Structure formats: structure tokens, C-alpha cells
Structure 1
């Protein structure tokens, strides 16, 4: 394999990308459909599921922003990482460790560990996703082989028959990838990752089929990451296209998801309130109907037990008359199906007992508890001798001193079950006896005399309050809203349950629609950004080629200007600049030629007086050697020639100095009376208008009276423009810039103050030197060559003023103070 080794085995993908994508998807589901997390494994975190989802979304979004903008301050990524890891730890402990699933128990701590490792300086620029995959596969395989049930409740059932082969497959693929990474074999590493795409892909399908949404998000993102390891191309992050792409990615998707999440939460709250109201109304209707039925039954039994005619019949033993009296209890609209009389020992009379079967019924609770005079006892539900489900109302019939019989009327539970429910068809209604939990009525299945199904989901003590609401989960993991109330003066409890998934189906559809819209809008925006980015990149590359051509001798190449936007204007400006440079170079060549000509002429002119001057001096030397000397007249003539040549030489030198002064006199002032406040207003308005799309707000403070003085208006315009644009260049867009003009006794004080990047203390002393730039200004990438402040200083000093800068340090802004006397001193000669 050594011949296959390459410096880069697989694409260096950071686990933070995978973690951020998983956290964003998981947070979206927790915020949008929190009721889907109502199963037993989420029982500890379900009350806080929406807050946990919000933490996942915020942490993941911040982490993605830090990954897309690596030049941002490090605390941004640190904050996103901290929030995401905190949410993941809570989820790991509450929904993974306590549920017994080893897959999540392994992968989440491993993800956190690798994220922390990638944040260290040594590993900051290296992606560890391939290593993460290898360790995950090895851990999965080892634990599954030791105990296949450690797959967890969502994966154990579908993988029961193939759990151990799955563990062997994980171990083999993990070992293959680890060995390929160690041996740096690109071919075998790619094969191992391709197998992992199949393994994690089918895990995603199974968890989706089992409605395990967190597992679906996790394994889908891992599968996508494996695909990126194989097929992703390295992205050049320094291009304009990439910067446009990442900006659109954040600005198009995240706001839609955030707004959709808030709308979904509001809609869910509204539906919860509506669901509770409807459930309360359903329970109240059922309770009112049952209370009315029980009240009527009590009244009938009590009135019959107190009827003197019935007492007379029982005393006389007239069985025919007794049967006729008992039949009265079963006439409509009576709720009773059967009626009978027991004597004081619980023996049936007239063979008209529970369905006409004689016998001893002293063991029935309606006999044992139905002997209180003036009271009607409601029995537990039971099967009659004819296997009919009944509840009995019983009351004593006093006959004589110390003797009484028991009047009993049986209410048919079958008839009660056939009665139409007062609740919506979307609700499930149960009525049970609190004393033994026996079911009296169930709206859907029609079951009776079994233990109430709700008691398998909720503790009986939870339903002991007179009324209330609770949430629970059904055996399939669906979330239920349970409304319950007790029927007054009875041992009965009415329970109405409603599945939240059914009630929240409109919100689920709305949430899915919002997510699809967000993803669709994001995809369209990203495609448009790529299209715009390619157009901008192509035009910038043409501009770059044109700039490169400036270094050649030929400047005839021009950049084609496309469109009518700012970039086209820059291109036109570049072409104009290239034309001016070409023209300037032509003028420079002509100036060099003129300079050479001037130097030749100057040399000739300087040589012209020097030649006779030298000859005259030599003549005077020879004359001085003559024995007879030289006449005074000839000496005066010789000295006069010397003086004329010296004057001529002085004039030539003076002319050259004048030419040099003219060439270096570009800052010569033309002071005139003017209003400095009006000029400041004009400059601020011009800059604010020219940079309105990206500049910080600029405020101008002027005195009420005009600030008149004698200054060079053009040079002060240049001064103000340099200072204000310098503040704009080094200030964030949302921080203000203040420009103040304060009149003083002998001049005017001009201050320009910003809240920008500031100036280090060591840079203040050199700030006005040509070509000097502070270190943080160089890192700011704001452009410029460092000549602006040097020009400002030249202008101020020529006006007889002074300029200085103050800053408390980097990030704390800068203030420039300029003092100008009202009258400009005359320019030095």
C-alpha cells in the first residue's frame, strides 16, 4: 500500500460541521414537534424539550456562523460550542444513559471529545471526522458483540436477528478505516468510508421507520459526512463567491427557521389551550350525564323503598303484587334492566333475583352496604347470574321493628355503553370505578368489567383529584392529553384522552411546510449566490488580470465593463486610471526628456560663466607676477568682469531654486474668508450620501453662529474628508461617528471621534508619519497606503494649527483634535 499513500488520505472535514448540522436538525424537531419526544425514554427531558431544542438551535447556529466566518473573534465559536455541548450532555444523560442504549451513550461523548480536541491550537486546522468514524465503528461493534441488547430500544427489535453480524461488520469496517488512516492508504480508506455510508444509511432508514427522530437526524448527518469525505471538493474560502455563499446561507435559512419555530410554538400553545378546553367540555358533559343518570336511579330506588304499598306487599307475602311493583323499576325512562328484593339474610324473594335465579346473595356488596336506612348504595360493577354486566343501586325497605328487606335495582352497563358519548369522536372516553379500577364504559372498544386501560398508563393516585389534566404516553410511545373528573356522589371517574399527534397534525403539516420553505428558499438563494458569485468572480478576475498588466510595459489592455452596477463603475474607473497612468507615464517620459535637456542646458549655462571666471582669475594671477605690476584701471576692469560672472552664477542658482520650490510647492495655500461650519456640513453630507449603504451613522455638532475665518477652503475640505473617511473606514457599521466644531477664543477646535478599532499606545507617536500604519489597522484590511494623516498634518501646520490623536487602546475608538487659528499666517517665502 505504500505506493498508494498520499499526503491527504481523506478530505479534512471537522466534526464540528457534523455536530452543528445534527444539533440544528434535532433542535428544529424539538421546537417544531415536541410531542414526538413524548415516549418513555424522554420522560425526564420532555417537560423541557422545547427549551432544549432552542438551545440546540442557538448553539448549532452560532457554531455554524463561527465555522463559516473563521476570522470572527474566537469567543463566538466558543460560545456556540459551549451551548451545544451543554444541550447535548443533558440529552445524552436524560434520553440515552437512563434508557440503556449504548449507541447514543458512545457516540455523543465521543462527539464532544473530538469537538474539544478540534478547538485546541494544535488541531484547529485539521478535521478529525475520519478518525471519529473509525473509533465510533469500533466502539459500536465491540459493544454489540458483547451484548446485542445494548443497541437500545429503538434498534434492538429490528436488528434482533442480525445484531451480532452487524457488530462484526462495524468492527471490520472500523478496523479497516483505522488501518488505512495509519498506513495512509487512500484507496482502502475510501472503500471503508463507502461501506460506512451503507451501514449508517440503513441505520438512518430504520430509525426513521421507527419514528426515532434524533437517531434519524444523527445517522443521516453522519451518512452525509461520509459522502463529503469521498466526493467533496476543497473550497477556496478566500474568494468573493464563497463569502457571498456563506452570507446567503446564514441569512436565507436561519431566519426562516427561527420565525417558523416561533410561529409553531405559538400555534402549539393555542392548540393546547383549545384541546384542553374541548377535553374539559367533554368531561363535563359526560359527568353531567352520568350524574343525572345516577341521581334518577337513586331517586327511583329510594322512592320505591319508601313506598307504603311495597311494604304492605312484603309484609303480606303477595308475590304477584310484589312482581308488579318490581316491574315498575324497569319501565322507560328508567335506567334499570333488572330489579329484585333480598330479605334480611341476603336470600332472594319470589325467585326474582339477578335474572330470576334464587340463592344466597349476602356476599354481594350491595347487600352488605345497602342496609343504611335512608341511603342508596351504588355497588361495584359485576356480572349477574345471567352474565350481564350490571351495577346495582340498593336501599333498605323497613318492615317492622328490627326487620327489613333490601330493594335492589340493576343498571345495565351494556345499555350504558351503547349510549352515545358526549365527547368528540377524536377523543377516547373511559368510565371506571375508583374502588377497584373496573371499567364501566369505553367509547371505542366497548369493553367492560376489565381493568381500565388508562390505569396502565397513569397511576390511580394521579386521577384521585376531583378534576385535572395530565400528559402521558401510550404503549406505542404516542403522547396523550388526559382530562379526568369524578362524578359527584358516585365512585365513578370519567377520563377523556386525546392523542397530541392527531390534535397537532395541522401544526405538524405547517412545521413541515415551513422547513420545506426554508430549505427551498435556502437552496434557491444558494444557487443564485453561486450564479452571482461566478459572475462577480469572473469580472474580478478580469480586473485582477488588468491590474497585473499594470506592471508590464504595455498599458493598452483594458478590462471589459459589464453591467451597470458598482463593479462596472469600478471597472470603468480602473480603465480610466490605466489610461491616466499611461498618459502620466507618457508625460513622465517627456518630463525625463525635459529634465535631461534641462540638465544639459543647466550644465552648459553653468559652464558658461565659470569658463571666463576661471580665465579671468588665471589672468590676474599672471598679472600679479609681472615686475612692473598692473594699472589700477586694468585691475578695476578685471574685477568688474569677475563680479558680472558671479552675479550671473547667482542668478542661475536662484532660478534653479525657484524651479525646485515651484515643483515642491503643491501645498501652497490660497486663504480666503469662508464659513467652516458650512464646509463641514457639506463634507459630512457628501460622505454619508456616498457611503450610505455601509457607513456608520455620522453626527455633526455645529454652533449656532457661523465659524468664519481666513483659510484655504480646498485644503480644509481635503482635511475633513480624510479624517471622517478614516473614521468610517475603521468603524463597525452600527457604531456612531461624531464630528464637532467648537469655537474658541483665538480659533476653532475640530474633533472627529469614532468607536472603531482604536490605536495601540505604541502607534500613536508614529501615526502622522508617511506610509505608517498601526498593526490593528493592517489586520483590518481597510485599504490605503498611510499617507492621509501625513497630508492632514501638512495642511494643518501650513495653516498655523496643530493636530493630535487620542485612543485608549485597540477596540476603544479614536479621537482626532485639530486646532485652526482664524487667520492663516502668510506662507513662508
Structure 2
């Protein structure tokens, strides 16, 4: 139920605005019926207002993080467009369906802002209100619904109203009780009802009604069928909305401009063609009237006809009248009248022309008009044939006159092909009484000209003009008219805008179809691309989720050559670095634990005898017992050795701290390395007399002088010698060798001790590291001495190396030093 309650009126309004606005912009002449009489002159601006408002509203709905003014401006434009349309199309022409639906749409668009603060939309409320209003209106005033586009619903409009009332009530009850199944059932029924109304208005080709009811039917169907809306987050949604806007809106915009330009061009062409058609028809009629007048005047002045009339030669008069009609003549009939209006002679085909015609208008006008040729009003002959006649007086001499009359059949005039386009309707009428002379479609003559009911008589009194009007079916038409010079006739050419603009309408329909197709293709492609991108990003997300977990594979497969693939490669490299860092961290933690264990043991080792000896001395002093000098010296020597051991341990830890903080520096001065090596060996022999015999020294005969740090090289040699003694069994030799080489000095410390396993050699100079066999053969130490030795050698610009053939085969440490420390050179 919560899913249905969150449906928003803004989506419905935006969809209606897009469809209605697109129709108004692309096919404005489809809104040319009398229902749109007030809004038609501004149809394109109103459609543009609908499109801009709907577009901004959609952007605000799809991009909620954008500034809030985008949505506010979009809603304001939508409300302005809907209000204008509602007043001009629904209220003024009194359209009940439009009045209800657009009024409710505006009201709920305004109220929805407050409802959204509680997490609820008002779309279901809008649909329920529409149904509850449609139902009673259709039941009580069905005649209001059979007007305009819903005429096809006339026989059963009450039944449709009853169904609307039932579905609206069911939907309202479902909303009130918060039950989803009544709501979905009511929405399904409303979808069918709105679909039925859509079909009804399509049959009458009402674009606006089709848009509103079609959107309403689709909305109800979606709300009834969808159980779970897709989550509008993530890369797929971003691509979807981006592709939708980028593909549909530009096509609609370009298509609207193109359609507008095409419509303007076609409108200019239509008006031009209508004027040309009027001009062509007018010229043809002027030519016909001019030829008829000239021919009749020439015949009236012919000596032979005048002589025949004077002498009463009936055969001569008949022969000459026959020349005016027939295939070679211009007139359909001709006859002669005397001054009293009696028939003197008629053509062979007009046997009905006999008797007195003094009451005819054409005779009376000719008697009054003098010698000019007069064009009479159209009339029905005695045989009920429509004619228009030209009359000219004949001077017979001695004050006598006769009248020559030439008649044009309006039926034959109507059979003449129109010079205008076949899609145009041509009318010719007499301005004096409005009698129709010619009409291309129905062919009626002497009836009232239909154009007089279409356009006001005042407009047609002008010499020429072009106006728009509505025909009997309420469709807009273009009316062009012009007078026929020298006659009381007016030519009118009319064209229906819908038929005239059918090519532009088809073009607009194609543009809209292409935009919809492009949007659909773009949406499908965006989903395809979005799925690929989303899958790869989800793989990265899963990789980040397990990042740092030692037991889980953290590598992500890199596919493609785009930025995501590069990001994946970067992630894999980062994961590898993190793995290495974690491995090093674990090793560092293990080394730290090992160091703490060793350090506590190593510190406790000298402290225990030191404390025991001090306790013994304190007890003896308290008891007043003395100690012989020899034993006293031994006790103090043991205490001194333990203190030295503590000093070395603390010094090594301080040196490691200096190494890690970058404060390990050298003090370089001239130094004899041979003397230093001899001094170190002798000191070790003194401090460790039990191992003095093991130490052997090989030195060059000449001093080896260079610029080194004496204290650090002393520490280096002491560490290497004591380390060799520590891991060598008693009685095995330890050789210290110093040699001069071309590029510096070489120092070797070689023993026959426990040796070093091959796998331990690469890590031998790492702080706190001890080889496996060294831990088994405990000889004390923290594993810092070799690391300090390497740092001392490298700071001097030299190098150190350990070589061993394996466990139990001894070890040889080799140091190469330049003559001058690299630190001083730097």
C-alpha cells in the first residue's frame, strides 16, 4: 500500500504536459476545431509552455539533488499552461470532462508539496476524485458528455458514468482503509474506462483528449500491475535518465523548430496558392465575361442581323443567332426581343423562349442601360435551367430598337475544370443577391452561396482578402476571395487546414515517432551499458568489502580498456600493496613479539646475577663480614660484565631507534683501519680470555688510512667478532682478515661455527631476525647487531655480505669500504 501512496501527481502532470505540448507544437492545426477557438491563435506558445514546464518538472523529479528552483519553476510553468488551457478550452466552451480533470490536476499539484513532507503522493487521490466527479456528471447530465469528442458514447454514457462512480468509490474506500487490493482492482477498472474514452476521442481525432485519457489509462494500468517499483539509484538509473533526456529532448526540440519552420513555410505557400487560385479563377471569369460582352456587341452591330431584324426575316435572324451558340460559339443560347419585350426570334435549341419577357430583370436593365452590354442576375428559365445572360440593345433606325440576349448555362459553367488545386473548394456567387453561380463540389446553382454562412458578408465586400473561419463541422479553414472585374461576381477559394497541412502533420508524427524510438533505443542501450558498468562496479564494491581479509581472494577481473578497467587494475595493485603491507605488518608484529620476548629475556639475564651479587654484597656488609681482595675483584668484574652487557643491549636498541627515525649519523675523520682491527681483537681477547686463543688476525704490514667514523667501525668489527665467537664451538678458529684493494678496503670475519641456512641468508640483516638454527642454538642477543652493521657499512658507502655453505659449515662476513666515507663525499 505504501508503494501506491507514494505515487505523485507531478509524474502524471509532466507526462500530460509532454504529450499535449508535443501535439500543440508539432500538429497545431489539429487543434483548429471550434472547441479551441479561443486558444488557437496562441497554440504554439501554449504548447511550448507545456513542454518547457513538463521538461523542467521531469528534470527535477529525476535529479532531486539539483537546485529546488528548477522544480518550482517547472511546476509554475505547468500550472500556468494548464490554467490557460482549462479556461480557454474547457470553461468557456463548457466541456465538463476537461473542466473537472484539469481543475483537479491544478489543485492537487499545489497541495502535493505539503503531502510529500509526510512521504505521500496524491496521484491516487487525483484519480479517485476524477472518477467520483465523472460518474455523477455522466449519470445526471449525459448530454454534456456527448458533445465534442465523446459523441460516440451517447447511447451508453450513463453506464460508463455508473462504472466510474463504482470504481471511484472502491478506490476511495481502499485509500481510506489502506487496503491495496481494492485500490488495485479499482485502478484496473479505471484503466479500462479511460482506455475506452481514449478510443472514443481517437475516433473523433481529438488530440488533447486522447493525450489526457491515454496517459490516465496507462497510469492506472501501471499502478494496478506493478508490485514493486525499480530502485531509482545507482549507475543504471543515472545512465537511464541521462540517456532519456539526452536522446528525447534534443530530438523533440529540433523537431519542434523544424516543424514550426515547415508549418510557417507551408502556411505561406497555402495562402499564396489560395490567392493564386482566386486570381486564376477570377482571370478566367473576367476573360469569359469580356469575350461574351465583346462578341455580343459585335453581333449586335452586324449589318446582316440589323437588316434581318428590320425586314422581319426570321430565317436570317435564326441563322445569325445560331452562330452565337454551339461548338463554334460562346453562348449556350441566344434570342432577340423587341422594345415591348416580345420574342422576335430564338436559337434552334431554345424552343421554350417565346412570349413576352418584359418582366425579366435583364430586359428592364437593358432598356434603362443605354447602349452598354449588361450582365444580368442569374435566373431560372421557363425550363428550370439556370442561366446568366448578357443583353445589348440594337439600334434599328427611325427610333426603333431591339435587344440581343446571349445566355451562359450555369450548369455548363460548373462543369468547367477548376484552375485551383483539387484539394481546394471553389465558389462563384453574385454579390447582388448572394446567388451561387458555381461550386466545385456540389454543383448547385442559384442557391445561397455556402461561403456567406462561413464568412461574414462584410468581409466579402472587400475587393480581395484572405481569412480563417470554421466550417459546419467545427474545422478551421482558409478562405481567399476576390472580385471579378467588370462583373458583380466574387470568386471564393476555401481549403481545410487539416488536409492542407497533412504533410507537415505526417512529418511531425514521424519526428515524434523517431524521438520515441530513439528514446526507447537509448533506454535499452543505457540498460545494456549500465548493466555492464554496474556489474563491474559491483565487483569492485565486493572487492572493497573484503579488502584486507587474508582468507578471501581480493582480485577483481579487469574487462575492457576503459576507465573502469583502469580503476580495476588500480584496485588490484592497491589490494596487492595492502596484502604486502599486511604481510609485512604481521611479520613486524611477530618480530615485535619475538623482540619483546627476547628483550625481556636478554635484559633479565644480566639483571638476575647482577641483583644476586648485589644482594650478597649487601648481606655481607650488614653482617660485617669482609671479603678477600681476590674474590672482591672477581665479584666486581662479574658486575662490570653484566653492566657492559646491559649497556650493549640498550645501545643496540637506541641505534635501531636512530635508524628508524633517520638520526643515525657519522662523524668522519682520518683513521688507520689496521690499528683499529688490532685494538678490537685485543679488547675481545681481554674481555673473553677463555676464547682468546680462538681469535686470529691477518693484517697488512702497512697502515690502511682512510676517512671513516672510528666509533661506528669499532662497533661494526666488535659486533662481527663477538657474533662469530657466540656461534662458534670452543676451540674452533675465528679469523679476522683486513686487506687493501684497488677501490678500498676489504674486511673478513670467518668462523667454523653453526653456519646459516640458505633460506635465511636474504633476511639475515633484517632487524630482529634470527636464523632458525640460531634460535635453536641459544647464544643470547636481540637480532639487532647485523642490522646495525649493515647500516654502518651502507652509510660509509660500502657493502656487507654473508656467505655460508649451510648449517654446521661456518660463516664468512665480508665488508667492502671505500677510502672515504660516502657521507663525507655527499
State the TM-score, normalizing by the size of structure 2.
Answer: 0.71
Shift of 1:177: 0.9
> Which residue of the partner structure matches residue 464 of structure 1?
461
Q: Secondary structure at the match of 2:407?
A: strand
Q: Secondary structure at the match of 1:554?
A: coil
Q: Does 1:190 align with 2:187?
A: no
> Which residue of the partner structure matches residue 73 of structure 2?
79
Counterpart-to-counterpart distance in 1, 2:519 and 2:412: 60
Q: Does 1:296 align with 2:291?
A: yes
Q: Secondary structure at the match of 1:471?
A: strand
Counterpart-to-counterpart distance in 2, 1:465 and 1:338: 33
Q: Does 1:154 align with 2:148?
A: yes
Residues 411-456 of structure 1: per-residue CA shift (max 9 Å, x gap): 2212212222222323222111122221111123222111222223
Counterpart-to-counterpart distance in 2, 1:165 and 1:330: 67
> Which residue of the partner structure matches residue 500 of structure 1?
497
The structure-2 alpha-carbon separation of the partners of 1:609 and 1:396, relative to structure 1 and needing over 3 Å to count, comes to farther
Give the conservation status (yes or no) of the 8 Å contact 1:26–1:217: yes
Counterpart-to-counterpart distance in 2, 1:390 and 1:272: 37
Give the conservation status (yes or no) of the 8 Å contact 1:366–1:377: no
Give the conservation status (yes or no) of the 8 Å contact 1:340–1:348: no
Counterpart-to-counterpart distance in 2, 1:477 and 1:664: 95
> Which residue of the partner structure matches residue 364 of structure 1?
361
Query: Which range is displaced more, 233-242 or 506-515?
Result: 506-515
> Which of the residues 563, 574, 578 maps onto 2:575?
578
Counterpart-to-counterpart distance in 1, 2:252 and 2:524: 19
The structure-2 alpha-carbon separation of the partners of 1:459 and 1:643, relative to structure 1 and needing over 3 Å to count, comes to farther
Shift of 1:370: 5.5
Q: Secondary structure at the match of 2:344?
A: coil
Q: Secondary structure at the match of 1:10?
A: helix
Give the conservation status (yes or no) of the 8 Å contact 1:366–1:378: no
Give the conservation status (yes or no) of the 8 Å contact 1:377–1:395: yes
- Structure whose alpha-carbon radius of gyration is higher: 2
Q: How does 1:528-567 map to 2 (within 5 A)?
A: 528-550=525-547, 552=549, 554-567=551-564
Give the conservation status (yes or no) of the 8 Å contact 1:22–1:217: yes
Q: Does 1:278 align with 2:260?
A: no
Query: Which range is displaced more, 60-69 or 527-536?
Result: 527-536
> Which residue of the partner structure matches residue 433 of structure 1?
430
Shift of 1:662: 6.4
Q: How does 1:380-391 map to 2 (within 5 A)?
A: 380-391=377-388
Q: Secondary structure at the match of 1:77?
A: helix
Give the conservation status (yes or no) of the 8 Å contact 1:381–1:438: yes
Query: Which range is displaced more, 102-111 or 529-538?
Result: 529-538
Shift of 1:271: 2.7
Shift of 1:521: 2.2
> Which residue of the partner structure matches residue 8 of structure 1?
2
Give the conservation status (yes or no) of the 8 Å contact 2:425–2:440: yes
Shift of 1:138: 0.6
Q: Does 1:260 align with 2:274?
A: no
Q: Does 1:336 align with 2:331?
A: yes
Shift of 1:190: 1.4
Shift of 1:120: 3.5
State the TM-score, normalizing by the size of structure 1.
Answer: 0.70
The structure-2 alpha-carbon separation of the partners of 1:319 and 1:56, relative to structure 1 and needing over 3 Å to count, comes to same
> Which of the residues 91, 97, 122 maps onto 1:97?
91
Q: Does 1:210 align with 2:207?
A: no
Residues 310-351 of structure 1: per-residue CA shift (max 9 Å, x gap): 66766666666555555554466543223344555x632437
Query: Which range is displaced more, 603-612 or 200-209?
Result: 603-612
Counterpart-to-counterpart distance in 1, 2:53 and 2:175: 31
Structure 2 stretches of 5 or more lacking a match? 625-637, 664-826
> Which residue of the partner structure matches residue 480 of structure 2?
483
Counterpart-to-counterpart distance in 2, 1:489 and 1:28: 49
Aligned length: 657
Counterpart-to-counterpart distance in 2, 1:431 and 1:643: 141
> Which residue of the partner structure matches residue 63 of structure 1?
57
> Which residue of the partner structure matches residue 411 of structure 1?
408
The structure-2 alpha-carbon separation of the partners of 1:538 and 1:430, relative to structure 1 and needing over 3 Å to count, comes to same
Q: Aligned-residue CA RMSD in angstroms?
A: 4.1
Counterpart-to-counterpart distance in 1, 2:288 and 2:118: 75
Counterpart-to-counterpart distance in 2, 1:645 and 1:404: 169
Give the conservation status (yes or no) of the 8 Å contact 2:236–2:534: yes
Shift of 1:51: 2.3
Shift of 1:280: 2.8
Counterpart-to-counterpart distance in 2, 1:484 and 1:168: 51
Q: Secondary structure at the match of 1:243?
A: helix
> Which residue of the partner structure matches residue 748 of structure 2?
none
Shift of 1:223: 0.8
The structure-2 alpha-carbon separation of the partners of 1:66 and 1:580, relative to structure 1 and needing over 3 Å to count, comes to same
Query: Which range is displaced more, 578-587 or 122-131?
Result: 122-131
> Which residue of the partner structure matches residue 222 of structure 1?
216
Give the conservation status (yes or no) of the 8 Å contact 2:343–2:356: no
Shift of 1:491: 1.5
The structure-2 alpha-carbon separation of the partners of 1:84 and 1:651, relative to structure 1 and needing over 3 Å to count, comes to farther
> Which residue of the partner structure matches residue 106 of structure 1?
100
The structure-2 alpha-carbon separation of the partners of 1:293 and 1:647, relative to structure 1 and needing over 3 Å to count, comes to farther
Counterpart-to-counterpart distance in 2, 1:128 and 1:665: 70
Residues 686-710 of structure 1: per-residue CA shift (max 9 Å, x gap): xxxxxxxxxxxxxxxxxxxxxxxxx
Shift of 1:373: 2.1
Structure 1 stretches of 5 or more lacking a match? 1-6, 628-640, 667-829
Counterpart-to-counterpart distance in 2, 1:521 and 1:291: 56
Q: Secondary structure at the match of 1:119?
A: helix
> Which residue of the partner structure matches residue 591 of structure 2?
594
Residues 756-799 of structure 1: per-residue CA shift (max 9 Å, x gap): xxxxxxxxxxxxxxxxxxxxxxxxxxxxxxxxxxxxxxxxxxxx
Shift of 1:374: 3.7
Give the conservation status (yes or no) of the 8 Å contact 2:464–2:481: yes
Residues 28-80 of structure 1: per-residue CA shift (max 9 Å, x gap): 22222221111111122222222222222222122112211111111111222
> Which residue of the partner structure matches residue 231 of structure 2?
236
Counterpart-to-counterpart distance in 2, 1:15 and 1:340: 80
Counterpart-to-counterpart distance in 1, 2:68 and 2:659: 54
The structure-2 alpha-carbon separation of the partners of 1:87 and 1:657, relative to structure 1 and needing over 3 Å to count, comes to farther
The structure-2 alpha-carbon separation of the partners of 1:117 and 1:124, relative to structure 1 and needing over 3 Å to count, comes to farther
> Which residue of the partner structure matches residue 173 of structure 1?
167
Q: Secondary structure at the match of 1:440?
A: strand
The structure-2 alpha-carbon separation of the partners of 1:261 and 1:398, relative to structure 1 and needing over 3 Å to count, comes to same
Residues 253-288 of structure 1: per-residue CA shift (max 9 Å, x gap): 222222222222232233333333333332222111
Q: How does 1:543-692 map to 2 (within 5 A)?
A: 543-550=540-547, 552=549, 554-598=551-595
Shift of 1:644: 13
The structure-2 alpha-carbon separation of the partners of 1:660 and 1:89, relative to structure 1 and needing over 3 Å to count, comes to farther
Give the conservation status (yes or no) of the 8 Å contact 1:173–1:192: yes
The structure-2 alpha-carbon separation of the partners of 1:377 and 1:646, relative to structure 1 and needing over 3 Å to count, comes to farther
Counterpart-to-counterpart distance in 1, 2:269 and 2:537: 58
Shift of 1:174: 0.7
